[in-house]
Amino acid sequence: MMIIWLGSSNEGLCPALSIGRAIYYAWLLLISYDVAELIFKPILSFLSDKFGWRMALILSIISQVISLAALIGNELQNFLISRVLQGIASSISPTLMAVVSNLTDGGERYVGVYMGFRGLGYLAAPLLIAIMEGLSKQSIIFIMFSLAFLQTAPLIINVHLKFRKADTLNLNTLFQKNICLLFLLTVLASILMGVRFTLIPLVMIRRGFTTQIVSMILTLGFLICIIGQSSSGILLENRHLMLVASLGFILSTVGSAYMPLTRNLLDLLIVALTVTLGSGLTLLSTNTLLTRKARRTNITSTLGLNGLAQSMGELIGLTAIASLSEIDLNMAIVSIIVVTLTGFIASLLIREEPWR
């Protein structure tokens, strides 16, 4: 959202000083969050396995509170520090996914619901800020601090997990062919999520759409993605999950190939829905399958490594694809199509059921 609203007189939405400081700073704020997640998702997951998920959640909440304190200053370094701390706080996601999946016998079916609620947070944040536009910065920070305090609720209520986890990470399991392929699918699908912030807005703005329309359509696409993830996680049977992953890459391929042909609002909607929903369904499949597989090993650490793969893909999408877009837009689109087709082929190579 930062990249869209900042805009650029050169129609650039990429990390290059030549297209304006505002865009460069927006890129710094985006990747600082993803880099922090990439580093700390495995760390918080390991701490969860070693000392319990409550300890990991406490560290996440502390990081979030400190990130709010950093926003009191108006310098760029304050924003960067806050974004890094937010990335550390958000690294709790694999641990929370593990907790959700362990609440019931069939808890892995609720991974999609968990991802849907997490997505609602991403949608609610801009709306909340828009509503609070007239408030002072101190008032907004206070409200955000109150929301952070509410996150202590799981520490207070009595949570009974259904299954026990192993005490050590099973490296032999991680290096199995299917697990490695699932990690690869996560990276490729996450690249498409990064494209949603870079290539799609760039193409749309160059087609003459206003930034408001572009952001509205992308938000609608993300909302459809949330609904698709939540419902698919509950309704799909085990044997259909890899089919959904393959379908997700096919949808993303169609949207990416159609991108150069966009001329009106309907075209824009088709691109946003296919790429966003396609990548979202693939991530749902990989996360659910890995959660089921990890039940027999060290669940949080395994999901933490998958979270590392997801952050890595988002960084590639935000940086490499964005930079390539400035060099040659058609080359950037072709590279994304290569990514989607690679993901589709990789999904076909997973023939066994890795969750058994």
Place of tokens 């922090």: 36
Average pLDDT rounded to a whole number, residues 308-331 = 80
| Six token digits for residue 267 | 């075209």
> Would 356 be classed as within a structural domain?
no
> Would 354 be classed as within a structural domain?
no
**Residue 328: left (phi > 0), alpha (psi -120 to 50), or beta?**
beta
> Would 224 be classed as within a structural domain?
yes
List pLDDT tens digits, range 220-272.
888 888 888 888 877 777 678 888 899 999 999 998 888 888 888 888 888 88
The number of distinct structural domains making up the chain is 1
List pLDDT tens digits, range 162-214.
665 555 666 666 667 788 888 999 999 998 887 777 777 777 777 777 767 77
CB-CB contact of 271 with 223 (8 Å): no
Decide if pLDDT at 355 tops 70: no
Upper half-sphere CA count for residue 270 (Cβ side, 13 Å): 15
Decide if pLDDT at 21 tops 70: no
pLDDT for the residue 99: 85
Structural domain that includes position 301:
2-348
> Would 143 be classed as within a structural domain?
yes
pLDDT for the residue 92: 92
> Would 104 be classed as within a structural domain?
yes
Count of other CB atoms within 10 angstroms of residue 136 = 9
CATH code of the domain covering residue 115: 1.20.1250.20
